[in-house]
């Protein structure tokens, strides 16, 4: 039986008396679902708008039909479509484009005028993922179903996998420019489709696909470079989709490699083998993997791309999400040589995406840092504090992966052995701990570290120490810290050059610039202020047009400077620069002549800096 894996969210309905429906006027299903027990006919001049509604063919008739008298094969857009006719079949004489869910429950169905297309609906920049069917429902006759896989606009690398058995690599030729292999559009040129062999020497682990007549193996991931134009450099390709037709993989067994002496050799490039979201929780439980997986997100970092991660540590967090979409490849780091093979199971397919897990657990304390500047944005490093975490290596650690984009900013915690991490597991009691933080960028300029979601952090004093400037920033008194950074320069590479190896095998070359201190370690820092030493309170109003009221607190007498700088660190105005006694102080800033934009209020005293962002509008 040919079928596609889909999310079953519509409930099966009991058999109802047969009743035909004829639409002669205009009918709009605005969020409603209609159950049709007989034929559905859209008469000449009639209109049925189901783009925001659902249709269920759920009768007990020997045969139900759905057609439009104005013409065979007319495109019909519907949000949800379901077949639940245990007494017969449903013949569809329109060409459905299903924006949401196709439910296959009982009976048989046929698309007489052409294949139905399943299109993931794009909402707010995020893809609404489809879910799972176990194949025990309705049987299909007639044309197959086509699953339309959306692609993010923009040229660059994609991590892909096929959910269908027997799909040749040449299926990419229909929707994209391909090159560098036999059977591609152009056999010359750089290869743009790569497999991964963790057992090969480091410089040969990316293995180009040399023959596009071969098929995608189930459960295996690939890197594919999507060009934004045809070979003429003018005819656009993106945004585009990869239309694939076939039978869903029934199972997949993939060898897993682990190498105790080299972490890079333990990275496995896997692929979702099903046409439904894959539950990472089930995958991780079945194999010996770190708690985190990673995917390349081409929309991150201002469209330049960056890795997105998801970790099961504690309350489970990360930008990638618990469910791995269909057609998606992903990195998983093995932690043991056993079992040696991952046997994907159909029960791992998602039947829902609820973030609520069975049972209750205490919230896990975590600290998330955010770094951006010069048009670049790093993936947020996250430290989690929980039982089983350690200052050394533990199962909650996740390696920071080298971005595929040559231009980027990196923010990563650095373990005692020098390993850069995007997730850092630590003991539950954070008091007295320190975290080394390394920040590096390809562009020279001004960058900002912020600490969103501070309410989730351990309830201890928190301080960020800039070893280069000697400044100590109280994380509970300021919401960000701005600093300058000398860039390393973007790597000069051909756009189709090999993707970067996913992880570094060596410690970072230089000492991390920043240290985050918790609790007792804050007071232990020589000359470090307490949380009450220097406080810059939020400006009011914010956003502002003219006069801005400011307030701050000093813990000791001495020189105080309060000024305004732009996002590049250039001085805009000096508000105060004088001796001040310990205590509370008020000031004001006339912003009426300053251009609209985002600025930084900067308070400095006794070698300590506090900052607040303010937005000026006109």
Tokens 């152009």 correspond to what residue?
186
Overall pTM surpassing 0.75 (yes/no)? no
pLDDT tens column, 180-223: 999 999 999 999 999 999 989 888 899 999 999 999 999 999 99
Q: Can you give the pLDDT at residue 530?
A: 43
Express as a percent the part of the chain with pLDDT over 70. Answer: 81
520: confidence class by pLDDT, cuts 50, 70, 90: low
Q: Are 277 and 353 in contact (CB under 8 A)?
A: yes
Q: Can you give the pLDDT at residue 317? A: 74
Q: How confident is the model at residue 494 (pLDDT cuts 50, 70, 90)?
A: low
- In this prediction, residues 488-506 reach a mean pLDDT of 61
**Residue 529 pLDDT level (bands cut at 50, 70, 90):** very low
Transcribe 505-562 into DSSP letters: SS--SS--SEEEEETHHHHHSTT---TTSEEEPPPBSSSBSSEEEEEEEESS-EEEEE
Mean pLDDT over each residue of the chain, to the nearest integer: 80
Residue 55 clears pLDDT 60, i.e. is over it: yes
Specify the pLDDT at position 505: 44
- Confidence (pLDDT) at 368: 93
Tens-place pLDDT, residues 228-270: 888 888 898 887 778 777 777 888 999 999 988 777 889 999 9
CA–CA separation, 88 and 60 (whole Å): 7
Q: What is the pLDDT of residue 115?
A: 64
pLDDT band at 363 (very low <50, low <70, confident <90, very high): low
Whether residue 354 has pLDDT greater than 50? no
Per-residue pLDDT tens over the stretch 24-34: 888 888 888 88
Instruction: Pick 101 or 549 by higher pLDDT.
Output: 549
Q: What angle do CA 601, 603, 607 make, to 5 degrees?
A: 140
**Span of 13-17, 54-58, 124-128, 503-507 with lowest mean pLDDT:** 124-128
Q: Centre a 10 Å sphere on the Cβ of residue 289 and count the other Cβ atoms it contains.
A: 25
Contact 20, 47 (CB under 8 A): no
Closest CA to 89 of 137, 135, 133, 57: 57
> pLDDT band at residue 128, thresholds of 50, 70 and 90?
very low
pLDDT category, 507, cuts 50, 70, 90? very low
Distance CA 503, CA 423 (A): 14
Residue 341, pLDDT above cutoff 90:
yes
**Which is more confident, 130 or 327?**
327
Residue 16 has pLDDT above 60, yes or no: no
Distance of CA 195 to the CA centre of its chain: 22
Give dist(CA 590, CA 101) in Å, integer.
56
Q: How confident is the model at residue 495 (pLDDT cuts 50, 70, 90)?
A: low
**Res 549: pLDDT:** 92
pLDDT tens digit string along 59-99?
A: 777 788 888 887 655 778 888 888 888 777 888 888 887 77
Two tokens at 142? Answer: 């007639």
Confidence of residue 114 (pLDDT cuts 50, 70, 90): low
Domains located in the chain, CATH noted: 21-150 (no CATH), 152-350 (no CATH), 365-524 (no CATH), 534-616 (2.60.40.3080)
pLDDT (0 to 100) of residue 153 = 64
Mean pLDDT of 104-122: 65
Residues β-bridged to residue 611: 602
For residues 532 and 367, which has the higher predicted lDDT (pLDDT)?
A: 367
For the chain, what is the radius of gyration of the CA atoms? 29
- pLDDT confidence bin for 53, thresholds 50/70/90: confident
Highest mean pLDDT among 233-247, 497-511, 583-597: 583-597
Residue 617 has pLDDT above 60, yes or no: yes
Residue 331: per-residue pLDDT: 96
365-384, pLDDT tens digit by residue?
Answer: 899 999 999 999 999 999 99
The tokens for 590 are: 């006339």
How far apart, in whole angstroms, are the C-alpha atoms of residue 445 and residue 489?
12
Q: Is the pLDDT of residue 17 over 70?
A: no
Mean pLDDT of 464-481: 89
* Mean pLDDT across 437-443: 91
pLDDT digits (tens, 9 = 90+) for 276-313: 778 899 999 887 899 999 999 888 887 888 899 999 88
């Amino acid at each position: 039986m040919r079928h596609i894996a889909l999310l079953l969210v519509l409930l099966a309905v009991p058999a109802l008396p047969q009743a035909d429906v004829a639409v002669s006027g205009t009918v709009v299903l605005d969020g409603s679902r209609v159950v049709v027990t007989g034929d559905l006919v859209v008469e000449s001049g009639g209109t049925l708008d189901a783009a925001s509604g659902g249709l269920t063919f759920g009768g007990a008739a020997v045969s139900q039909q759905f057609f439009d008298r104005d013409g065979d094969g007319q495109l019909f857009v519907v949000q949800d479509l379901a077949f639940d006719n245990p007494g017969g079949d449903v013949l569809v004489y329109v060409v459905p484009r299903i924006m949401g869910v196709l439910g296959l429950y009982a009976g048989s169905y046929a698309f007489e005028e052409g294949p139905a297309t399943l299109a993931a609906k794009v909402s707010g920049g995020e893809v609404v993922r489809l879910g799972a069917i176990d194949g025990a429902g309705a049987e299909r006759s007639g044309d197959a179903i086509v699953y339309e896989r959306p692609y993010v606009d923009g040229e660059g690398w994609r991590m892909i996998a096929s959910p269908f058995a027997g799909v040749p690599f040449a299926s990419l030729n229909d929707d994209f420019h391909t090159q560098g292999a036999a059977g591609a559009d152009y056999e010359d040129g750089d290869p743009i489709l790569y497999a991964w062999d963790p057992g090969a020497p480091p410089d040969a682990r990316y293995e180009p696909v040399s023959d596009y007549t071969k098929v995608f193996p189930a459960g295996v991931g690939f890197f594919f470079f999507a060009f934004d134009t045809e070979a003429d450099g003018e005819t656009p390709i993106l945004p585009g989709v990869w239309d694939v037709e076939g039978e869903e993989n029934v199972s997949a067994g993939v060898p897993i490699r682990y190498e105790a002496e080299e972490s890079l050799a333990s990275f496995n490039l896997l692929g979702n083998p099903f046409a439904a979201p894959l539950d990472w929780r089930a995958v991780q439980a079945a194999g010996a993997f770190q708690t985190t997986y990673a995917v390349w997100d081409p929309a991150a970092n201002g469209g330049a791309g960056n890795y997105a991660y998801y970790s099961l540590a504690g309350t489970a967090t990360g930008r990638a999400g618990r469910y791995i979409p269909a057609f998606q490849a992903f990195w998983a780091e093995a932690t043991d040589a056993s079992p040696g093979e991952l046997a994907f199971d159909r029960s791992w397919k998602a039947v829902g995406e609820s973030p609520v897990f069975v049972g209750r657990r205490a919230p896990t304390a975590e600290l998330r840092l955010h770094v951006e500047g010069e048009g670049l944005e790093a993936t947020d490093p996250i430290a989690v504090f929980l039982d089983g975490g350690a200052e050394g290596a533990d199962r909650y650690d996740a390696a920071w992966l080298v971005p595929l984009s040559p231009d980027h900013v990196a923010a990563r915690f650095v373990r005692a052995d020098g390993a850069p991490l995007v997730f850092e597991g630590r003991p539950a009691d954070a008091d007295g701990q320190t975290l080394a933080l390394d920040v590096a960028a390809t562009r020279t300029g001004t960058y900002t570290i912020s600490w969103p979601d501070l309410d989730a952090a351990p309830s201890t004093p928190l301080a960020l120490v800039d070893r280069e400037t000697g400044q100590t920033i109280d994380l509970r008194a300021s919401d960000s810290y701005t600093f300058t950074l000398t860039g390393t320069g973007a790597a000069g590479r051909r756009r189709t050059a090999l993707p970067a190896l996913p992880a570094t095998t060596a410690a970072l070359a230089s000492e991390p610039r920043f240290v985050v201190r918790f609790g007792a370690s804050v007071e232990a820092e020589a000359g470090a202020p307490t949380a009450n030493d220097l406080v810059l309170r939020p400006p009011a109003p914010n956003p502002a047009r003219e006069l801005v009221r400011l307030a701050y607190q000093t813990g000791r007498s001495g020189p105080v400077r309060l000024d305004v700088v732009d996002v590049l660190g250039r001085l805009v105005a000096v508000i105060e620069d004088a001796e001040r006694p310990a205590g509370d102080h008020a000031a004001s800033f006339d912003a009426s002549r300053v251009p609209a934009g985002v600025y930084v209020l900067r308070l400095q005293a006794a070698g300590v800096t506090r900052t607040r962002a303010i937005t000026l509008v006109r």
